[in-house]
Each structure stands twice: as structure tokens, then as C-alpha cells.
Amino acid sequence: MTGSDVSPSFRLAYVPGVTPTKWVRIWNERLPEIPLTLVAVPAAEACDLLRGRGADAGFVRLPVDRDDLSAIPLYTETTVVVVPKDHVVAAVEEVSAEELADEIVLHPLDDTLGWERLPGRPAIERPATTADAVELVAAGVGVLVVPQSLARLHHRKDLTYRPLTDAPESRVALSWPQDETTDLVEQFIGIVRGRTVNSTRGRPPAVAQPKTKRPAAGGAQRKPAAGKSTGRNPRSGSGGAKGGSGTKGGKNPRSGSGAPKRGKPRRRP
């Protein structure tokens, strides 16, 4: 948001294979007044889109340049090999990269796996996209190694896939421009990380209120019980002293006329 006259909104980019439905639903429940717009983007263009402020945040595939983009890794995908249903690989639960040595392994230009050395034999020409490579697999030209989400995205009835061991894996992350960690980005980070709606993360702490003493019942200061000394009981007039029945340990001096101290009974001989 750059001005008060602009209605707030949130643009979320996502690369093929990522399904942001769950997070979008939570956003709409918590922030119904702020529309969220989804922006589909090829994996190779996602980081440039974020740098150009074409989206506020996005689900991308690692690695990303941490010099200008922040990223929170979310999960790692299983790598699979896509083959025709009647292929020998379809008969096993998983396959190793070594077992693809005699296969033509298609390597599309939008490949998301960081291969040091591609398994199998290379095709004469690289397909432009993963979708094109899937069509070639269906035509019996070769096999394709991709993250499992892309195999599901391009599912066909005549194709299947199996996990591939000893292969690089693709990691998905939430990314955004480092200098644009806005309140809305923080809100979405909280949703992705599973914070509850009552989470205090990112909110200022409540100001503690000073404690006040509760007054005694009736709003008045409590008085000592009857018959108990308060420590001071002055009397006016001659011969005044501490007294009153029930006081313990007090002396009872006599005056010269033999009269007892006021308030005390005469002692019997």
C-alpha cells in the first residue's frame, strides 16, 4: 500500500506444480476485506516477477538469490520418472538413476532439477517445456524425470510415474523482496507457517495496567474489633491513664487518697 486512496490487495505468485488453495482459503477467512489475486508464473521467471514487484510474495522453487529476495523453505518434493503405462518401469515400485542408462531421458528447457549429470541418453533436441516433454513420452520417444507435483499436473491416462532414487530433489519456498516485508506479507507468512488467528506474533504486546488496591467492604477503612487496643487511648481530665476492663498487663497505681484508678473496681481486702 503506497497511499490511503489505494485499496489494499495482495498478489500471490505461484509456479507450476504448487497448489496454493489451502493458504488462499485461510487468507479469505481471516482477511475477507483484502482480496488475494493469484499470479501463475513459469518457474524460471518467478524471481524476476518478485523483483519487479509483479507480486507481493510467491511460491517458488529453490534456489533463489538471497541478496535481494527472502525465502522460507517449505517442503521437498519426491522426484519421479514419467513413463508409458506399458513400460517396464511401471512394473516396479521405484527405480534408480542407474537403471535408466539405456533410456532416452528428455530434458526440457524449463527443467526444475539441478542435475550435475543427467541419467540415460540425451535426446537429439531439448523440448521447450515440460508439457511438450510429456507429449513426447506419450509418443514413446523417451522418459521424463520431474518433481512429483509436475507429474500430477500433467497427468495422462496412458502415462504413469515411479519414484526415482539417486536424483536431485526440488524444494519449494515462499519468497518475497527483502525490502518489501509489509504487514500483509507478514500475515501470509503466519498463515503458511500455521499460526492461529489468535497468535500474538507480529502484534504489539498489550500494555500492562497498574494494579490498584481493593478498598474494604463498604468503601471505608476497616476499624479494629471492639475490646482490642489500638495502641493509643488518651483520656482527658485529672488522673487520666490507660484503662478499661479487659486490658491485660496494665499497672493500677493508687492516688494519695486511696481511691482506685477510674474505671477499676475497688479491690476487696
Domain locations in the chain as residue ranges: 10-76+171-192, 79-165
Question: What CA dihedral angle connects 114, 117, 122 and 126, to 10 degrees?
Answer: 20
3-state SS class at 36: strand
Output the CA torsion sign for 49, 51, 53, 58.
positive
pLDDT per residue rounded down to tens, the chain (269 residues)? 444 456 689 999 999 999 999 999 999 999 999 999 999 999 999 999 999 999 999 999 999 998 999 999 999 999 999 999 999 999 999 999 999 999 999 999 999 998 989 999 999 999 999 999 999 999 999 999 999 999 999 999 999 999 999 999 999 999 999 988 999 999 999 999 998 877 645 343 343 444 445 555 544 455 555 544 444 544 444 444 444 444 444 445 444 444 445 555 555 54
CATH architecture of the region 10-76+171-192: 3-Layer(aba) Sandwich (3.40)
The angle formed by the CA atoms of residues 5, 8 and 9, to the nearest 5 degrees, is 140
CB 182 within 8 A of CB 1: yes
What does the alpha-carbon distance between residue 171 and residue 122 come to, in Å, rounded to a whole number?
A: 25
CATH superfamily of 79-165: Periplasmic binding protein-like II (3.40.190.10)
CA distance 31 to 10: 10
Read off the pTM. 0.70
Are domains 10-76+171-192 and 79-165 of this chain identical in fold? yes
